[in-house]
Amino acid sequence: QRQMCIRDSLRPAGRDVPAGRAGQLGPLCGLRPDRRRGDDSPMKQVILDVDTGSDDAIAIMLAMAAPSLEVLGICTVWGNKPVENTTENTLRVLEAIGADCPVYRGCPSSIIKHLQPNRRKIKTAEKPGRDRDGRPPEIHQDLIGSVPSTRRPEQTDAVHFYIDCLLRAERKVTVVLLGPQTNLALALTICPEIRKNIEEIVIMGGGKSRTNATIAAEFNIFQDPEAALIVAESGCSLSYVPLDATHQACVGPAEIRRLRELDTAAGQLAADLAQVMLRAYRIIQNAEEVPLHDALAVCSVIDPHVLRDRRFTRVDIDCGGDYADGQTLVDARAYPDKLPNAWFALGADGALFREMLFTYLSKLR
């Protein structure tokens, strides 16, 4: 039975499909004719999925600056902040750098985890370190900057954007997940057919020897383990950029100064965001540098050489709900229980990452 996609019957008539013409797809996503790079090779078409967030914002700027990438759309998701905030923050970042890219509002919560009261929670209250007002310091601001965006997200939601865009894509698309994987997991569930046009799914998430949300899990995976499992078992080509790698892609006070010296809106914004992260890391864990997790994931799409010690191995996600909830189980044994399904990077070239950071951010206004 060919898996048909429940598309038009679900999608509200909106700007993309003029009313009365259900079934006719309007000019969706950025499926422009083949755009070429300077060396005449085709640009890599990508979709970003973000919970903007300080490091997401820097990742967005890098993706928009990279001549080799064509960002077809940016999907927003809950995670660092509610989806209303992550959507507004994404719009503000694009406006700050004068970049034009459609933004598609995504899921406000996990697939099921938030409905289960006994699932393990992040115990923020127990984290060490307090701000001057006695609260745990924020790594991500509720709203980036102080100027509301003059732009609005598209009428199509993120899940339907994935389905419409990937079903119609003429070239395969790289999907870059920088937050909880809820949007893509639901799109894959409703319409598995979209896998045919996914070149690769690059995932900032997980950790083998490093975690952050709990003793066992990294934040993006922990917030929606079931979504991460759906993606892990999708059969698509997967490339994890976990905490083991991102903690080797850090910036400190010297890089923040250098970002400000770019004397551009992008440099200023990136410096401000990195400073917010550094201030929190100093208070929470007495650190003098911060990992720009999502920025490394985008850099790996631009140039995979920025990752080191990549293993093609078996990655599974624990959805048990207790101590190990959201853990990425990396079976690096010579004879794993199941067939390998993903590349998992255990390191990064920090110097190359910082070089790419300045190279691409310096292209922005």
Among 8, 40, 49, 51, the active-site one is 51
Q: How far is the CB of 293 from Ca ion (least distance, A)?
A: 7
Piece of 2-10, 26-34, 49-57, 84-92 that binds ligand RIB (CB under 6 A): 49-57
- The reply to whether 204 sits near ligand RIB by the rule CB under 6 A is yes
Q: Within positions 289 to 328, which residues make up the interface with ligand RIB, using CB under 6 A? A: 293-294
- The reply to whether 16 sits near Ca ion by the rule CB under 5 A is no
- The reply to whether 219 sits near ligand RIB by the rule CB under 6 A is yes
Number of residues interacting with ligand RIB: please give it, by CB under 6 A.
15
Piece of 189-197, 213-221, 252-260, 282-290 that binds ligand RIB (CB under 6 A): 213-221
Q: How many C-beta atoms surround the C-beta of residue 328 within 10 A?
A: 28
- The reply to whether 49 sits near ligand RIB by the rule CB under 6 A is no
Window 51-80: contact mask with ligand RIB (x via CB under 6 A): x-x-xx----------------------xx
Three-state secondary-structure class, residue 190 = helix
Q: Which of 26, 3, 4, 10 is nearest to 160 (CA)?
A: 10
Structure tokens at 9: 């019957």
> Which residue's entry shows tokens 């509301």?
148
CB 360 within 8 A of CB 66: yes
Question: Which amino acid type is present at position 306?
Answer: V
206 phi-psi bin (left φ>0, alpha ψ -120 to 50, beta other): left
For ligand RIB, which residue has the nearest CB? 219
Structure tokens at 256: 């923040």
Q: What angle do CA 46, 203, 325 make, to 5 degrees?
A: 150
Which of 149, 182, 220, 234 binds ligand RIB (CB under 6 A)? It is: 220
Q: Rounded to an integer, what distance in angstroms lies between the CA atom of residue 127 and that of residue 135?
A: 10
Q: Rounded to an integer, what distance in angstroms lies between the CA atom of residue 134 and that of residue 131?
A: 5
**Which one, 179 or 242, has the nearer CB to Ca ion?**
179
- The reply to whether 206 sits near ligand RIB by the rule CB under 6 A is no
**Which one, 191 or 241, has the nearer CB to ligand RIB?**
241
**Which one, 255 or 294, has the nearer CB to ligand RIB?**
294
Told to judge if 263 belongs to the known catalytic residues of this protein, a careful annotator would answer: no
**Which one, 51 or 244, has the nearer CB to ligand RIB?**
51
Structure tokens at 27: 């000019």
Burial class of residue 342 in the structure, from the number of CB atoms within 10 Å of its CB (0-12 exposed, 13-18 middle, 19+ buried): buried
- The reply to whether 232 sits near ligand RIB by the rule CB under 6 A is no
Which of 16, 49, 51, 289 binds Ca ion (CB under 5 A)? It is: 51
Which of 49, 56, 88, 318 binds Ca ion (CB under 5 A)? It is: 56
From residue 347, alpha-carbon distances to 182, 245, 249, 304, 336 in Å are 26, 4, 9, 12, 21
Percent helix, strand, coil in the chain (nearest 5)? 35, 15, 50
Beta strands 328-331 and 307-317 are antiparallel
Structure tokens at 313: 């191995």
Q: What angle do CA 310, 275, 204 make, to 5 degrees?
A: 25
Q: Within positions 169 to 188, which residues make up the interface with ligand RIB, using CB under 6 A? A: 178-179
Piece of 34-42, 47-55, 124-132, 163-171 that binds ligand RIB (CB under 6 A): 47-55
Q: How far is the CB of 293 from ligand RIB (least distance, A)?
A: 4
**Which one, 141 or 212, has the nearer CB to ligand RIB?**
212
CB 345 within 8 A of CB 240: yes
- The reply to whether 53 sits near Ca ion by the rule CB under 5 A is yes
Catalytic positions are 51
Q: Which stretches of the chain bind ligand RIB, using CB under 6 A?
A: 51, 53, 55-56, 79-80, 178-179, 204, 212, 218-220, 293-294
Q: Which stretches of the chain bind Ca ion, using CB under 5 A?
A: 51, 53, 56, 178-179, 294
